[in-house]
Amino acid sequence: MKRIGYILLLLFVSQNFWAQERKFQVNGDARGYMFAKNMLIDPALDSINAPRANYGHTLLDLGFSIFPNANTEIISSFRIRNELGGFWGGGVSFNVRQLTLRGVAGNVVKYNLGDIDLKMTPYTLYNFQEEGSINEAEIFSLRRQVVHYDMFYMPNNTWRMQGAQIGFGLQFNKFLKAIEFSGFITRQRPTDGITIPERLFGGGTITWKQNDKLQFAFNSISLFDLTRTISDSIRYKNNVNTFSLKYRNAINENIDWGFDAEAGFSNVNYINYVNPLAPDLQNDWFYDASFNMHFKKPKIVMNLGYKDVGADFFSPGAQTKRVDFTKFPGVFQQYTNAALGRPINLTDIINFNADYSFQIQDRLMAYNVAYDNINPHGIATPNRRGVYLNAERSDSVKFKRSFIQIAQLFESRGMGTNLKKSFTSIGAGTDIRINDFLGWKRELIVNLGVRHDITSRGGDVFEKINLSSTLIDFGLSVNLVGKLDILFGAKYFQAKGNEFITQRNAFNTVNNFQAIDLDVSETTFAAGLRYKFSEKNQLLVNYQNHQLKNKTTGGINYGISQFNILYTLTF
């Protein structure tokens, strides 16, 4: 035991935490965002809804980090937001955006309390990317980042939650390298005291690091209702337990190879529900195993894997979507003389017009089959099995980053028929530094991305499916002079064919199918100027035109043009 030493595993501690001399630090983000939008639709189709919308806001996120002692940090962020047009405080809101206490207890246990960002594995807790981009242009991604920032969708796929988190580790000199423990508990939903019980979400990981090459982990996560928070005894409980393995080894000094795998079970209980549709128990399992190669020169990573996710595998933390497609967009919510709800399109998602998730959902959320029918609920999408291949090269100077993503998946259980759907997805993208080819000093970068998805199912006429969709992203970024860039972006999306939209009840049980035919295209062009005052301070002025053509019977064609100004500052 004497040889066993403790080690602190400070996984999330920032550089500031260790700046012991500092007692106080101020940082923040400021933003100004203005829109002028026009709905472009045939007046014969829509003469009742206002075709123009002008709005915007300025805001300041003022963050304070306080270091009361060497092992404690208090992080707070306050948001002051002013809607344009709300003079003299009329449109001003003041919110606490973050309040976190973190530190190390007894020099052993690291803890976080309050607002925390959490992620585990892609099958337990993982905030996967929303639909509609594949290496998209900077003129789009700059605006998408605003959504991600506001909704706490971090690049490392974490979910922002409120609760407590702890972590500690043990290091060994013999037999194994280390064991790490981490756990969290968060509050997902308060009770109303009458019919809705309090809901918590908790989990943890035990990681066994055998050596530098091999590690195992046991992951467990649970979304559950707390008993006795209402007089009724109904209770929802979802448990997901997985076992993961990671192995790395070197073939030679230039090539490493590895093996990653995760397998586990989920079970869902609807306890004491009187609704006869509530199943007593739903359980299923999954596995995902991949073989990977890491070439150091050139720097290429290849990952070839196979997964099988059961049709009843429900993991809310990994399957909750960012965008709720059942809701209508915030701007031009209704269109046509019949005042129909306008479905969310790809630019609504970029422009912060969609309804975004900030809580883990116990139901598989509705999705748009045109935008993503392959993995609509992320990597952990239930009822998918098959092979996938991802490859990425990231060391080339002229081709800044290139990647290819291929998947051939199948259903493991039919939907409304014994026949299974097959899903094929091929995607690729690259950033090309044209200036390097031409020998220019000023940057001229082209972004390219293409993804083509096919869903098919054979059988009789009534059950056949043939749906294909294509997404093309193109971007151009040119440094004109000094700190001034011209940005251009184009996004083309097209979907054609037929599908059956799966409808589920409140208990995730499939209860109906809606047959749809699709012949839709979306074309978006955007052009603008960006002035970089510094790397953390920029101004973007751009114009965008979006056209949606729906050739399906009864489909509505329309467009939205917009001019917007986005100013961002981080300090």
Partner 1 sequence: MKNLIIYSFLVSLIFGCRKDDKINFDGPSLADSFGPFAIIQDLSINQYEVDFSAGQQVVFSMELSKNTNWIIQIEGENSGAVRTIIGNERILSLDNAVWTGGANKFPSFNLEKAYITITFPNEADSPTLLDSVLITGLKQDQGFLITSFEEGLGAAWQQFNQTTVAGTITCDPALAAKGSCFYSWNGTVGWDWAIGSVTIRPPAGGSFGLPANANNLFFNIAFKALQNVGPQNSFLLFWFDEDDNGDGVFTLNSEDRFIFEYWSNTLDWDLISRKYADLKFDADGNVQQTNGNGLTEPSKLISINVFFLANPNNGNAQAYADHLIFTLNEPYQP
Residue 148: strand, helix, or coil: helix
Closer residue to partner 1, CB minimum distance, 311 or 446 = 311
**Cα–chain-centroid distance for residue 450?**
19
Shortest distance in whole angstroms from residue 508 CB to partner 1? 10
**Exposure on the CB side of residue 240, measured as CA atoms within 13 A:** 32
Between the alpha carbon of residue 394 and those of residues 352, 405, 439, 442, the distances in Å are 31, 15, 20, 21
Please answer whether residues 367 and 349 qualify as being in contact, where contact means their C-beta atoms are separated by less than 8 angstroms. Answer: no
145 Cβ contact partners less than 8 Å away, ≥ 6 residues apart:
none
> Roughly how many angstroms between the first and final C-alpha of the chain, as a whole number?
48
Closer residue to partner 1, CB minimum distance, 96 or 506 = 506
For residue 109, list its beta bridge partners: 105
> What token pair was written down for 373?
């029918």
Closer residue to partner 1, CB minimum distance, 36 or 366 = 366
Using the 8-state DSSP alphabet, how is residue 175 labeled?
S
Which residues would be at the binding site for partner 1 (CB under 8 A)?
247, 249, 257, 259, 261, 263, 287, 289, 291, 306, 308, 310-311, 383, 385, 412-418, 460, 462-463, 500, 502, 509-513, 515
Closer residue to partner 1, CB minimum distance, 34 or 406 = 406
Q: How many residues does the chain have?
A: 571
Shortest distance in whole angstroms from residue 124 CB to partner 1? 19
Pairing assessment for the beta strands 300-309 and 334-335 based on DSSP bridges: unpaired
Report d(CA 485, CA 479) in Å as an integer: 4
Shortest distance in whole angstroms from residue 534 CB to partner 1? 49
What type of residue is 314? Answer: F
Burial of 172 (0-12, 13-18, 19+ CB in 10 A): middle
Provide the strand spans (E) within 458-536. Answer: 465-481, 484-504, 510-534
* Farthest CA pair distance, the chain: 84
Shortest distance in whole angstroms from residue 465 CB to partner 1? 10
Closer residue to partner 1, CB minimum distance, 109 or 293 = 293
Shortest distance in whole angstroms from residue 414 CB to partner 1? 4
12 Cβ contact partners less than 8 Å away, ≥ 6 residues apart:
102, 110, 112, 117
For residue 342, what is the enclosing H or E element? none
Main-chain phi, psi angles of 437, to 5 degrees:
-65, -35
Shortest distance in whole angstroms from residue 301 CB to partner 1? 18
If we measure between CA atoms, which residue out of 269, 271, 302, 307 comes closest to residue 288? 307
Shortest distance in whole angstroms from residue 449 CB to partner 1? 31
Shortest distance in whole angstroms from residue 243 CB to partner 1? 12
Closer residue to partner 1, CB minimum distance, 46 or 308 = 308
Residue with tokens 């599908």: 499
Shortest distance in whole angstroms from residue 362 CB to partner 1? 18
Report d(CA 289, CA 123) in Å as an integer: 12
Pairing assessment for the beta strands 255-271 and 5-7 based on DSSP bridges: unpaired
Closer residue to partner 1, CB minimum distance, 182 or 412 = 412
Other Cβ atoms less than 10 A from the Cβ of 446: the count is: 17
Closer residue to partner 1, CB minimum distance, 150 or 463 = 463
Shortest distance in whole angstroms from residue 250 CB to partner 1? 11
> What token pair was written down for 370?
């045109």
Closer residue to partner 1, CB minimum distance, 96 or 515 = 515
Closer residue to partner 1, CB minimum distance, 81 or 213 = 213
Closer residue to partner 1, CB minimum distance, 386 or 427 = 386
Report d(CA 318, CA 315) in Å as an integer: 6
Between the alpha carbon of residue 94 and those of residues 81, 97, 297, 353, 548, the distances in Å are 6, 9, 52, 21, 37
**Cα–chain-centroid distance for residue 497?**
27
Closer residue to partner 1, CB minimum distance, 439 or 554 = 554
Closer residue to partner 1, CB minimum distance, 461 or 481 = 461
Shortest distance in whole angstroms from residue 421 CB to partner 1? 11
Shortest distance in whole angstroms from residue 169 CB to partner 1? 26
User: 501-513 b/e with 16+ CB inside 10 Å = b?
Assistant: ebeeeebbeeeee
**CA 502, 510, 269 angle in degrees (round to 5)?**
135
Closer residue to partner 1, CB minimum distance, 432 or 518 = 518
Shortest distance in whole angstroms from residue 382 CB to partner 1? 10
Shortest distance in whole angstroms from residue 418 CB to partner 1? 6
